[in-house]
Structure 1
Amino acid sequence: MYKKQGQLLSERFEVAFNQVHDALRDIVQINDERFVVLVKVGAKKYQIIDTFKKDLEQYARLRNAIVHEKMEVGFYIAEPNAKVVHHIEKIADVLNRPNYALSIATKKVVYFDHLDSILHVTDAIKKYGYSKFPIYKNNNCIGLFTAGTIMKWMVENMENGMVNLSNILVADIMEFEKEHSLEIVAKDLNIFEIENIFEEAHKKKRKIEGVIITENGKMDEVPLGIITAWDLIQIDYTID
């Protein structure tokens, strides 16, 4: 009975390990398919892989012991315990079922037309505590508007310590807005793909202020969510 249970655990471990390996190939996408290399490279690019890096490196060694030291087909000389098997199965499940990007996005996206009053923006800053707002012109997203830009404009236009915003439009202050790179993506993208967008931009020394999620990734669609680099940092990939 003990032997049968041991075989089951080893088989489950091997199945889960192969599932993790397949997921790493899909996520990391490099020419080298060796498990340890995928883990090492992937951990530098994706938070989720970095979270499990030490565990996966240990499981690679255990997998070698289990597979390469088989005495015969169906008989394993090394056996993982139930806790290890459960954990690698959890990791396999997380890697093979990545959350959609919309799951970590700010759902209540507040956006404005370039001809809206700047007072509408300041009201939104006060009400929601947001600091970045997509701006649309002729129903197309033309960029991000930040609270910092309002401050810059106020400094430039202050007279006797006073500034009048009553007749100022978003478009008037957008001239002071440095170009903020953003991406617009479809709602079916997963977190790994979003992380990759930020990583590729970083490699090119291009800062992305936000990724806007719409139904089909089109500029003229209503924003369903917005993701910043800070949202990625706060993802919790821990498992029991």
Structure 2
Amino acid sequence: MSDELVERFELAFNKIHQHLKEMNRYPKNDNFAELLNHSKDRGVVREYYDVLRQYAKLRNAIVHERVRDGYYIASPHVEVVEELERINQTLDQPPLGLDIATRPVLFFYEETELFHVIEAFGKHGVSQFPIYRDGAFTGLLTDAGIVRWLGESVDGGSVVVDRMTVGDVLRHEKVHNVEFVSEAASVFELEDLFESSHGEGEKLKAVMITEGGERDGKLLGIVTLLDLIKVDGAEG
């Protein structure tokens, strides 16, 4: 039984090691502890960081401190092996971006009267809405963008909202960094997109999940950095 548990432990451990290599794009230093440390803020790795560090020590004892064939100085308990296999299973089949996305997504067209959008901001407590024209995505309208437009539109102490459309305001909105992914995208892929946007100009504002990942495909969900932080907080 001991040999079987060791084999199962090593198999699951090696698969997790491979996942860590993939997450870190196969760096030259592929030491398990180093890869784990570099990945500690990501999804399931963050949740199991401490336990994986301990399992790495156990693995070193099993592999490097074997007394002779079939006799190990340390051997994993069945509960340890089963937990390691569960961690690997989660890495094999990570949660989808749609699992944490806001959906259904409320969106508006450029010809929509601005008054309706202002009402929606207050009612739904969100900070941005996707905007479309003739079925094509044209940008994000944010609460900050509306405030900026109001500041630029004050005339004699008042602002005329009547007959204004979303399109009128969208022209005053910043061009936000938005990515499009398919419904098959995992949470890990979304984390990569937000992470890679750091230091590359404007940070990623949102990830739009659409059918087939097409820019103008059917909108299925939207994910912000806050959504990922909420998930990490829940897992922690």
- Do they fold alike, i.e. is TM over 0.5? yes
Identity, % of aligned positions? 37
| Structure 1 residue 233 corresponds to structure 2 residue 229 | yes
Q: Does 1:98 align with 2:94?
A: yes
State the partner residue of 2:27. Answer: 31
How far does the alpha carbon of each residue in 1:59-109 deviate from its partner, in whole angstroms, 9 at most, with x for none? Answer: 111101012222343332201234433332222122111111111110121
The one of 123, 129, 139 equivalent to 2:125 is 129
Q: CA deviation at 1:138?
A: 3.0
Number of paired residues? 234
Matched with 2:193 is 197
Q: How does 1:151-190 map to 2 (within 5 A)?
A: 151-190=147-186
2:52 maps to 1:56: yes
Tell me which moved more, 76-85 or 196-205: 76-85
Give the Cα separation in 1 of the matches to 2:146 and 2:158: 14
Given that 1:143 and 1:181 are in contact with CA atoms closer than 8 Å, whether structure 2 keeps it comes out as no
- Aligned position for 1:140: 136
8 Å Cα contact 2:176/2:202 also seen in 1: no
CA distance in structure 1 between the aligned counterparts of 2:91 and 2:24, rounded to whole angstroms? 11
Q: Which amino acid aligns with 1:110?
A: L
Task: Say which SS state the counterpart of residue 94 (structure 1) adopts.
Answer: helix
RMSD: 2.1
Unaligned runs of 5+ in 1: none
Q: CA deviation at 1:160?
A: 4.8
TM score, norm. by length of structure 2? 0.89
User: TM-score, length-normalised on structure 1?
Assistant: 0.88
> Structure 1's 170 and 155: CA in aligned 2 closer, same or farther, altered over 3 A?
same
Q: Which moved more, 1:146-155 or 1:226-235?
A: 146-155
Q: Distance in 2 between matches of 1:203 and 1:193?
A: 18
Corresponding letter in the other structure for 2:31: R
Task: Render the CA deviation track for 1:132-159: whole Å, top value 9, x for unaligned.
Answer: 1111123221211101211222233234
Q: What is the Cα deviation at residue 173 of structure 1?
A: 0.8
Matched residue type, 1:22: Q
Question: Aligned partners of 2:199, 2:13: CA distance in 1, in Å?
Answer: 31
